[in-house]
């Protein structure tokens, strides 16, 4: 079984709808991240969490919110989806032991299309 | 602040030829540097990383990268390309704020 899973893998929604993307991990890591990937822009950080009670905004948090329900679960919500939120979304996890040196482990991604 | 620039959004190589992907970074403190690879329809996975010590870093699948502080570079190479190397490659830096910053990515195409 995969260490980092994301659901759904694909989602089509309409402008104005609220949607939630979910991420679960079995690696036992403290740190979790949400990124979006757009062609030619690489990955940009939306939100990150260093433990269950810690939530931080990334560089592009407007229009998004997150919830860290448990160490293993980190959800991303789009409160009112808009077309320019069409993208590939990745969840990632990392250990905290070696801090910045730690490898991030990525889920398979969720492809979101907002019509 | 930290940032990464990858030179060339697309690279096409012949099978068996050298693969060279360029990455330059900016960082106000000594950086930790990473190369990740993304195969079609998959998430990213680590190829290699530089933390401290030896500046020539070896990774998976025959890839290696050299950290050159004077040039602020961390270029990725593989002596002989294989068809399975076709993917998108991302350089990333993590310096003093605990978050990875990614480059825009370089797509590698391997010609038979």
The DSSP code sequence of B89-112 is EEEEEE-SSS--EE---EEEEEE-
Look at residue B24 in the predicted model and tell me its pLDDT: 96
Nearest to B18 by CA among B77, B91, B84, B105: B77
Cα–Cα distance for residue pair B31/B92, rounded to 1 Å: 10
Cα–Cα distance for residue pair B83/B105, rounded to 1 Å: 19
Q: Select from B2, B40, B97, B98 the residue whose CB has the most chain A CBs within 10 Å, as the one to mutate to test that interface.
A: B98
What would the two tokens of residue B81 be? 């390309």
Q: What is the pLDDT of residues B26-82, one digit of tens each?
A: 887 778 999 999 998 889 999 999 988 889 999 999 999 999 999 999 999 999 999
Q: Please name the member of A40, A45, A103 whose beta carbon is closest to the beta carbon of B104.
A: A40
Mean pLDDT over residues B3-13, rounded? Answer: 94
CA angle A79, A82, A84 (to 5 degrees): 125
B31 contacts A100 by C-beta, under 8 angstroms: no
How many C-beta neighbours within 10 Å does residue B106 have? 21
Is the pLDDT score of A74 beyond 90?
Answer: yes
Q: What is the pLDDT of residues A10-59, one digit of tens each?
A: 999 999 999 999 999 999 999 999 999 998 889 999 999 999 999 999 99
Look at residue B29 in the predicted model and tell me its pLDDT: 78
Cα–Cα distance for residue pair A6/A1, rounded to 1 Å: 12
> How would you class A40 by CB atoms within 10 Å of its CB: exposed for 0-12, middle for 13-18, buried for 19 or more?
exposed
Q: How far is B105 from chain A (nearest CA, A)?
A: 6
Q: Please name the member of B34, B36, B42 whose beta carbon is closest to the beta carbon of A108.
A: B42
Look at residue A62 in the predicted model and tell me its pLDDT: 95
Pairing between β-strand A54-57 and β-strand A42-51 as defined by DSSP bridges: antiparallel
Look at residue A90 in the predicted model and tell me its pLDDT: 97
Cβ contacts below 8 Å, chain A against chain B, sum to 49
Cα–Cα distance for residue pair B29/A80, rounded to 1 Å: 39
| Chain A residues within 8 A of B32 when measuring between CB atoms | 100-101
CA-based nearest residue in chain A for residue B97: A100
Mean pLDDT of chain A: 93
B81 contacts B62 by C-beta, under 8 angstroms: no
CA angle B94, B33, B28 (to 5 degrees): 55
Pairing between β-strand A73-78 and β-strand A4-7 as defined by DSSP bridges: unpaired
């Amino acid at each position: 079984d995969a260490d980092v899973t994301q659901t759904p893998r694909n989602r089509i929604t309409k402008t104005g709808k609220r949607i939630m993307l979910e991420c679960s991990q079995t690696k036992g890591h403290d740190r979790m991240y949400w990124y979006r990937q757009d062609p030619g822009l690489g990955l940009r950080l939306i939100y990150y969490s260093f433990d269950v009670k810690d939530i931080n905004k990334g560089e592009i948090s407007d229009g998004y919110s997150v919830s860290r329900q448990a160490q293993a679960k980190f959800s991303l919500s789009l409160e009112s989806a808009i077309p320019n939120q069409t993208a590939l979304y990745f969840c990632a996890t990392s250990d905290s032991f070696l801090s910045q040196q730690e490898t991030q482990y990525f889920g398979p991604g969720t492809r979101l299309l907002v019509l | 602040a930290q940032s990464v620039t990858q030179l060339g959004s697309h690279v096409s190589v012949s099978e068996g030829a050298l693969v060279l992907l360029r990455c330059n970074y900016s960082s106000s403190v000594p950086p930790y540097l990473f190369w990740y690879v993304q195969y079609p329809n998959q998430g990213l996975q680590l190829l290699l990383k530089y933390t401290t010590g030896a500046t020539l870093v070896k990774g998976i699948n025959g890839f290696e990268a050299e950290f050159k502080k004077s040039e602020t570079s961390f270029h990725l190479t593989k002596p002989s390309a294989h068809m399975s190397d076709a993917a998108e490659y991302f350089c990333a830096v993590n310096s003093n704020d605990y978050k990875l910053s990614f480059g825009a990515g370089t797509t590698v195409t391997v010609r038979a």
